[in-house]
Amino acid sequence: MPRPDRPAAPLRVFARLKRIERRHVAAVLRTETVGGALLIAFAVVGLVWANSPWSGSYETVKDTVVGPHLWHLNLSLASWAADFLLAFFFLVAGIELKHELQVGELSEVRAAVLPVVSALCGMAVPIAVYLVVSAGHEHAASGWAVPTATDIAFALAVLAVVGQNLPSALRAFLLTLAVVDDLGAIIIIAIAYTEQIDVVALVVAALLIAAFYLVQRQRITSLWLNVPLALAIWIAVHAAGVHATVAGVAVGLMLRGKRDPREEWSPAERVQWRLQPFSAGFCVPVFAVMSAGVDIGGDTFGTLFTDRIPLAIAAGLFIGKSVGVFGGAYLTARFTRAELSDDLRWSDIAAVSTLTGVGFTVSLLIAELAFDDAPDLLNLAKGGVLEGSLASALVAVVLLRRRDRFYDRLCNEEDSEDFEEE
């Protein structure tokens, strides 16, 4: 008689990564950590500048319009930072998403379920918290998406101070979660915050994206063709009325991610390693200066703790993100009968889940789109983002600090494994 098949071994969640993936995660996060430090520094500059005696010059710089009227490119410097510079940020995010789908945490369905469900719950629960807290406010419906995003650079800047020894599995979870968050944010921006569509420009953008894809498939790597084509995609998407950062993700996903036999790096890898320092070290910090200038003078500071909009955003980030991400991970593990790695406890997952409430770059971007026609509410919404992010960072610091000695031992074991494999 044929022997019955043995039941599949239970999935181990948050298990140690393979050496090659650990190194990829470490390399990506190293750049993001430096970028996170710059992000915080430039955000402080913007906040201080906006509340200084020179606040008028801050507004003047933000509102200065440059660029040709052709294709609606006569934008303020603040808009150039949000539309053009952040396109590089989302291009890198698109490349990282493709890596995760091809060889990373999202490449295997069983392993992908937990971070994807966690990310989705980490977007749905903050929306629910926001809507409950803001109920009754006349502008409540505008900002529902603001607390949905995790800022990986800001979160890693916090880790650089207090959680340098965080195990690679938790770092990979945080990175994968942020990548899925960014994809969700792009979908929200493209659907919920696009008012008028220029169909002709949108068709042109689609044709250009298809052409870029064919160029990649034909193994044409010339910068003289690829760069102008990518720029043309950005212009077409912007002219179509869709937020131009969508072009960044589209280009990132179209880039060829797998290496040919004689290639040392694939086009996606080359672009990622060249652009990531520029994105993290220049694009995002400049956007932070332009967007973090929350006027907290006069009665505004007190209003941040009484008005329902900033309170709803802060609660969405601080409570909604941590409950959503942890709840999604815990319930997924229970329903799929997965087992937690012997190296970790669920309290470790809770600490990292709290850190996901640090939402800065994308949250500020969505706030600007949501409250574009209400400057006073935009100022309060940005204040809510700062409130929620700061609270999440401080609590995460306390939770992670308690286990730092244990994390240090795990990291030393991982380093020893790498040394033995070599």
Strand ranges, E, within 172-294: none
Q: In this structure, which amino acid lies at residue 69?
A: H
pLDDT in tens, 375-415: 889 999 999 999 999 999 999 988 888 877 676 676 666 55
225 or 261, which is more confident: 225
Return the structure tokens found at 417: 């494994």
Helices 346-355 & 322-335 angle (0-180, nearest 10): 140
For the cut 70, the answer to whether the pLDDT of residue 349 exceeds it is yes
Rounded to an integer, the average pLDDT of 46-57 is: 90
Could you tell me the pTM of the whole model?
0.84
What average pLDDT score do residues 98-121 get?
Answer: 80
Domain ranges of the chain: 14-193+243-414
Per-residue pLDDT for 144 more than 70? yes
Tell me what the mean pLDDT of segment 13-19 comes to: 59
Position 203 scores a pLDDT of: 95
* Closest to 13 (Cα-Cα) out of 402, 326, 416: 326
- How far is Cα 65 from Cα 154, in angstroms, rounded to an integer? 29
Which tokens in the block code for residue 210?
């298809």
Using CA atoms, how far apart are residues 406 and 383, in angstroms rounded to an integer? 36
Q: Please name the residue that has the structure tokens 């690679």.
A: 168
Q: What pLDDT was estimated at residue 420?
A: 47
Query: Per-residue DSSP letters for 94-140?
Result: HHHHHHHHHTSTTSSHHHHHHHHHHHHHHHHHHHHHHHHHHTT-TTG
Options 1.10.357.10, 1.20.1530.10, 3.40.50.1950, 1.10.260.40; CATH for 14-193+243-414 is 1.20.1530.10
Q: Is the pLDDT of residue 123 over 90?
A: yes
Q: Which two tokens stand for residue 87?
A: 């396109």
User: Which among 307, 320, 396, 288 is positioned nearest to 148, based on CA atoms?
Assistant: 320
Higher confidence at residue 412 or residue 145? 145
Query: What are the pLDDT digits (tens) for 28-43?
Result: 656 666 777 888 889 8
What confidence tier does 262 reach under pLDDT thresholds 50, 70, 90? confident
CA 356 to CA 337: how far, in whole Å? 25
Q: Between the CA atoms of 168, 173, 175 and 178, what dihedral angle is there, to the nearest 10 degrees?
A: -160
Query: What is the pLDDT at residue 204?
Result: 95
Is a pLDDT exceeding 70 seen at residue 20? no
Predicted pLDDT at 76:
92
**Cβ distance 313 to 147 under 8 Å?**
yes
Cα–Cα distance measured from residue 296 to residue 105, given in angstroms and rounded to the nearest whole number:
41
What is the three-class DSSP state of 340?
A: strand
Average pLDDT over residues 252-265: 86
Task: Check residue 29 and give its pLDDT.
Answer: 56
Cα dihedral 66, 70, 72, 75 in deg (nearest 10):
0
**Across residues 164-187, what is the average pLDDT?**
80
Q: Which of these ranges, 95-99, 169-173, 261-265, has the smallest mean pLDDT?
A: 169-173
CB 194 within 8 A of CB 254: no
Closest by CA to 178, choosing from 236, 232, 123, 141, is 123
Residue 165 has what pLDDT?
66
- Phi first, then psi: what are they for 76, rounded to 5°? -70, 160
Confidence band, pLDDT 50/70/90 cuts, at residue 181: confident
- Report how far residue 171's alpha carbon sits from residue 68's, in angstroms, rounded to the nearest whole number: 43
Tokens of 154: 């800001």
Q: What percent of the chain has pLDDT over 70?
A: 85
CA torsion angle 149 152 156 157 (round to 10): -80
Predicted confidence at residue 416, as pLDDT, reads: 57
SS3 content of the chain, % helix, strand, coil (to 5): 75, 0, 25
DSSP class of residue 12 equals E
- The phi and psi torsions of 66 (rounded to 5 degrees) equal -135, 155
Distance CA 403, CA 362 (A): 30
- Stretch 190-216: mean pLDDT: 90
Q: How confident is the model at residue 13 (pLDDT cuts 50, 70, 90)?
A: low
Question: How big is the chain by its Cα radius of gyration, in Å?
Answer: 22
Tell me the two tokens of residue 146. Answer: 């603001």
pLDDT value at 148 more than 60: yes
Of 114, 60, 130, 148, the C-alpha closest to 337 is 114
Q: Say whether 13 sits in a helix, a strand or coil.
A: strand
